[in-house]
Amino acid sequence: MTDFSGYPLPDNCPEAGECIRVERPEPGLAVVILDPPHRSLAVLDAPLIRDLDAVVEDLEQDTSLNGIVLTGRAPGQFAAGADIDAIAQLTDPKVIEKMVLAVHELFNRIEDLKPRTVAAISGPVPGGAFEISLACDLIVASDDDKTRIGLPETQLGILPGWGGSHRLPKRIGLPLSLDAILTGRLFKARVAWKRGMVDRIAKPEYLLEVAKDIAMGRKKLQRKHRGWKAWAMDKNPLMAKFIASQARKTIMKKTRGKYPAVLRALDMVIAAPSESRESGARKEAIAIAELASGPVCKALVSIFKGSEAAKKLGKGPDGWKPSRIEHGAVIGGGIMGGGIASAMADRGIWTRICDLSADALDAAVMDHRKDIDKRKRRRRIRQHQANEALDHLDMTLDSNTLGKSQVVIEAVAEVLPVKQKVLGGLAEIVSSDCIIATNTSSLSVTAIANDIPNPERVVGMHFFNPVKRMPLVEVIRGEKTSDEVVSATCALALRLGKTPVVVKDVAGFQVNRLLAPYLDEAMRLFVAGADPSRMDRLMLDFGMPMGPFTLIDEVGFDIALHTGTSLHEAYGTRFTPCPAMNDGLGENRLGKKTGKGFYVHPKGKKAKPSLATDLAKFQTETWANKLNNAELVDRMVLSMVGEAARCLEEGVTENAQMLDLATVFGTGFAPFHGGVLGYADSVGTTEVVKRLNIIAASPEMTDREGGVEKFTPAKILIDLAASGGKFRV
């Protein structure tokens, strides 16, 4: 048997033999069922791998077998991949390498079994679950929308390390393998079949029977061989070199070299077609040992675990589940309201969008149709799905028709009396248990709910623009919002494909409260002489999706000023807005919406913005031009770190994990840093306090209103530094 000693065991580890069932439905056939009692969905953790090893040993010795089927314990289930908790715990590269090689040995033994082996897969089949399938002779996948197949390991800062990096390229070739592994995409069954990732698809109700027939030879199925294409492309050194060169350029453009796993995976895939199984296994083990013990993997795993924790917010602590929402409404036909309504209709909620303007409603519905048509042309949805999404959205000028709604989301002007009037009128139309949600970005949910009957049903649901692309929804708990409404709102966000983070009803909530000091500090550095294009480039190198001045132009000077002013009113001098922001850098200079901000934005899809040539006249000082790159980055990033510590101290989010999740999904803060507080931990809290104190004591801060206060470390940060502690345990 294979030696798996050292592999971390879960706390509720079952007894040996409990994780795998083997059924013998007919002579010569064994059906191996992944059925761990300690998991709701099978995970390839230590107990399951241990039991699978014992089962494989029995199968190796059974000469009566003609076929073997590997499957999950129920329709729509196979396995969820490797044990993420175990990956997070492993820190010794030697131990990691040993564990990876041990699993390779087991999977190789599965591949070498004499009876025909068929994997019958359905539901989510990511990472290790797909890799064990690749070790089988043939793969049959359930043809339904819930089946998702792929190798997403690079999204966790590692690479497919149980054979995926060399088995998949040999199966489907270099270009398709690179697309699957480097992007980490999960494919629908039909797409995976067309790509050659699986050998056949079957209707869910026939999946197991089809797999049995194939295993026993009653149905003929052979893996498609690529023939001359394999030699012309995969094993042609010149072609492989060209493919690798083009892929590397794309990777560097997207990641700026910050994600080492993607580059390692590229090298592994390119080498795979000409490499032996044993050599591929050794290379994967070495790569995994280095990557899994490194900081990028640890940071990405922490974000993944945070997103998994967010999925539990849609239930009560006792497992209570809210009623499924079938009917909803959105008030406001603008960009945000239209996007929210479209997202709801996409997910099967009968949605009615209401506005006083017929033109706004027409535009919202037209945008919804355009989005559906675009996805249909790209074959991301089928015709019947497109029809359903279109059918689930209608519009009305009369709010009195919204009485059937189980949830109403308001997306009107960001003015407190307006929101109070709109929601107050709605409260008289809808039922007393209808959830009333406000898509406010800065106003108090408690104040909005003040005069509404049953204020416990009023909640904040802050979407980010563009709604379809941004993954975060801040769920704001007002003073009287009930726990049940918070859970139901989180469940709705999850259904819309979003990640919810519950935050307190404070000014700026979580994301804007952290983004504002960052953008303000960038603006102040610009006024003091720093080159905006240089700072944008520095923050791109740091890992942000765009630089601060590009972001200000995207958001708009007017919106940035409005947010900064409201935060100043709430928190005092620490949030004193930069005077240049108050001036808006001149009339009709609001950023992209007016064609000019820090950059000039020409019209046309292919036209690229260029730095405005008249910016020097707005720079009234020169001291920031003397700062080096690290000092500029520190002033921008540590302004976020300092405020994040205060937010954690005040309990704006439940814990540091949720705060970091909000910063990554809401601001785009570099995932490989693990979020704002994850970055502080990597630098060291003692070092962070030291740097903050240096900035606070600088002459330009002592002469600036609120400057010293802004960079004075919060008590929680000082305490952690004193003890050598971290925000993330």
What are the pLDDT digits (tens) for 38-57? 999 999 999 999 999 999 99
Among 226-230, 247-251, 478-482, 496-500, the range scoring the smallest mean pLDDT is: 226-230
Average pLDDT of the residues in 111-132: 97
Torsion, CA 197, CA 200, CA 201, CA 202, rounded to 10: -150
Give the per-residue pLDDT at 561: 84
What are the pLDDT digits (tens) for 1-48? 566 666 677 777 888 889 999 999 999 999 999 999 999 999 999 999
Are the C-beta atoms of 506 and 531 separated by less than 8 Å? no
Looking at the predicted structure, is the pLDDT value of residue 683 above 70?
A: yes
User: Using 50, 70 and 90 to split pLDDT, how confident is the model at 499?
Assistant: very high
Average pLDDT of the residues in 382-405: 93
E strand or H helix that includes residue 140: strand 138-142
| Domain-wise residue ranges, the chain | 20-293, 324-504, 511-723
Is the CATH code 3.40.50.720 the one for domain 324-504?
A: yes
Give the per-residue pLDDT at 1: 58
What is 511-723's CATH topology? N-(1-d-carboxylethyl)-l-norvaline Dehydrogenase; domain 2 (1.10.1040)
Give the per-residue pLDDT at 4: 60
Compare 467 and 223 and report the one with higher pLDDT.
Answer: 467
Give the residue carrying structure tokens 């708990």.
477
Give the per-residue pLDDT at 206: 96
- Structure tokens that stand for 607 in this block: 């036209």
CA distance linking residue 343 with residue 336, whole number of Å? 11
What is the residue-averaged pLDDT of the chain?
A: 92
Give the per-residue pLDDT at 379: 82
Give the per-residue pLDDT at 341: 97
Compare 670 and 89 and report the one with higher pLDDT.
Answer: 670
Of the candidates 589, 595, 590, the one whose C-alpha atom is nearest the C-alpha of residue 609 is 595
The tally of CA atoms less than 13 A away on the side-chain side of residue 21 is: 13
User: Using 50, 70 and 90 to split pLDDT, how confident is the model at 236?
Assistant: confident
Secondary structure (H, E, C), 615-682: HHHHCCCCHHHHCCHHHHHHHHHHHHHHHHHHHHHHCCCCCHHHHHHHHHHHHCCCHHHCCHHHHHHH
E strand or H helix that includes residue 366: helix 358-377
Give the per-residue pLDDT at 231: 66
What are the pLDDT digits (tens) for 302-322? 999 999 999 999 998 888 899
Give the per-residue pLDDT at 282: 95
CB contact burial 660-674 (16+ within 10 A = b; e otherwise): bbbbbbbbebbbbbb
pLDDT above 70 as % of the chain: 97
Give the per-residue pLDDT at 269: 95
Looking at the predicted structure, is the pLDDT value of residue 445 above 90?
A: yes
CA distance linking residue 163 with residue 600, whole number of Å? 49
Give the per-residue pLDDT at 239: 85
- What does residue 5 show for φ and ψ, rounded to 5 degrees? -65, 135
Q: Residue 275's CB: how many other CB atoms inside 10 A? A: 18
CA dist list (Å): 81 to 34, 41, 69, 184, 368 = 12, 10, 18, 13, 35
Is the CATH code 3.90.226.10 the one for domain 20-293?
A: yes
Q: Residue 598's CB: how many other CB atoms inside 10 A? A: 27
Average pLDDT of the residues in 399-407: 94
Torsion, CA 682, CA 685, CA 687, CA 692, rounded to 10: 120
Q: Angle at CA 323, nearest 5°, toward 405 and 445?
A: 60
Are the C-beta atoms of 154 and 268 separated by less than 8 Å? no
Give the per-residue pLDDT at 13: 83
What are the pLDDT digits (tens) for 685-714? 999 999 999 999 999 999 899 999 999 999
- Long-range residue pairs from 667-671, CB within 8 A, at least 24 positions apart, any chain: 667/511, 667/514, 667/515, 667/518, 668/544, 668/545, 668/546, 669/543, 669/544, 669/640, 670/258, 670/542, 670/543, 670/544, 671/299, 671/300, 671/303, 671/543
- Structure tokens that stand for 633 in this block: 């980055």
Looking at the predicted structure, is the pLDDT value of residue 525 above 80?
A: yes
Average pLDDT of the residues in 319-341: 94
CA dist list (Å): 258 to 288, 544, 583 = 17, 11, 37
What are the pLDDT digits (tens) for 562-618? 888 889 999 999 999 988 766 656 667 888 888 899 999 998 877 889 999 988 888
Strand, helix or coil for residue 330: strand
- Active-site entry in 166, 462, 568, 601: 462
Helix then strand then coil, % of the chain, to nearest 5: 55, 10, 35
Give the residue carrying structure tokens 């698809």.
201
Active-site residue 225, yes or no?
no
